């Protein structure tokens, strides 16, 4: 069963984020707290949304997908960025991941999102196989760029003052 996450799922979502980070060999980078996730998912202005996969027989949470809308200047429409997709090891191969992806695709269709995008580590062959089986296009000519820590702060220090700053900035 796939359902929208509720505030009562926050602790379990955080636990699965840590499990995913361990699988991706980066557990030290998964620093989000339950309170941060609660605000991001269920605060006054949600930054992201989540779906939960439950085992049909036991009702136990076996996976989740966390996503947020994005905007394409090329299409002039919103799209979806899937930040995390995780199915616990004991539940893999039972279709939960594909069910989560199908539910997300349905959200895209319902909202007129023209693009559904995510990243996958190049060594994660099981996930790559699933994505290929669904017809995902791999954009190998694009490279992910990231600024964080000191380089982000150094660049921010060079910013000119903004004129007519909107509340969102």
User: What are 88-109's pLDDT values in tens digits?
Assistant: 999 999 999 999 999 999 999 9
Q: What b/e readout covers 143-155, taking b as 16+ CB neighbours within 10 angstroms?
A: eeeeeeeeeeeee
Amino acid 169: pLDDT: 62
Residue 166 pLDDT: 72
pLDDT value at position 61? 98
Name residues of the chain where pLDDT drops below 50: none
> Which ranges constitute the DSSP H helices of the chain?
10-23, 34-42, 96-111, 125-133, 149-157
What would the two tokens of residue 137 be? 């296009």
pLDDT at 165: 73
Cα dihedral angle (4, 39, 71, 87), rounded to 10 degrees? -40
Nearest 5 degrees, angle CA 167-CA 74-CA 106?
A: 85
131 catalytic? Reply is: yes
User: What gap in Å lies between CA 74 and CA 95, rounded to an integer?
Assistant: 34
Cβ atoms of 114 and 79 closer than 8 Å: yes
For the chain, the straight-line distance linking the first and the last C-alpha, in angstroms and rounded, comes to 39
The residue annotated as part of the active site, out of 23, 86, 113, 131, is 131
CATH class of 2-157: alpha beta
Q: What is the pTM of this model?
A: 0.91
- pLDDT, position 46: 97
Residue 162, CA distances (Å) to 11, 14, 98, 148, 155 in order = 38, 36, 44, 21, 15
- Edge-to-edge order in the sheet of strand 61-72: 2-4, 49-54, 61-72, 77-87, 116-118
Between CA 94 and CA 1 the distance in angstroms is 12
């Amino acid at each position: 069963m796939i359902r929208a996450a509720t505030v009562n799922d926050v602790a379990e979502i955080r636990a699965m984020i840590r499990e995913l980070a361990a699988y991706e060999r980066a557990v030290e980078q998964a620093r989000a707290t339950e309170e941060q996730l609660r605000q991001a998912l269920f605060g006054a202005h949600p930054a992201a949304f989540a779906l939960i996969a439950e085992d049909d027989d036991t009702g136990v949470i076996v996976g989740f997908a966390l996503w947020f809308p994005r905007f394409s200047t090329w299409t002039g429409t919103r799209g979806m960025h899937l930040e995390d997709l995780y199915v616990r090891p004991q539940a893999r191969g039972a279709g939960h991941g594909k069910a989560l992806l199908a539910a997300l695709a349905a959200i895209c269709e319902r909202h007129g999102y023209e693009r559904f995008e995510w990243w996958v580590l190049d060594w994660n062959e099981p996930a790559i196989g699933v994505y290929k089986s669904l017809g995902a296009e791999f954009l190998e000519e694009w490279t992910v760029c990231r600024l964080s820590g000191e380089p982000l702060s150094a660049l921010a220090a060079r910013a000119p003052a903004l004129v007519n700053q909107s509340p969102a900035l």
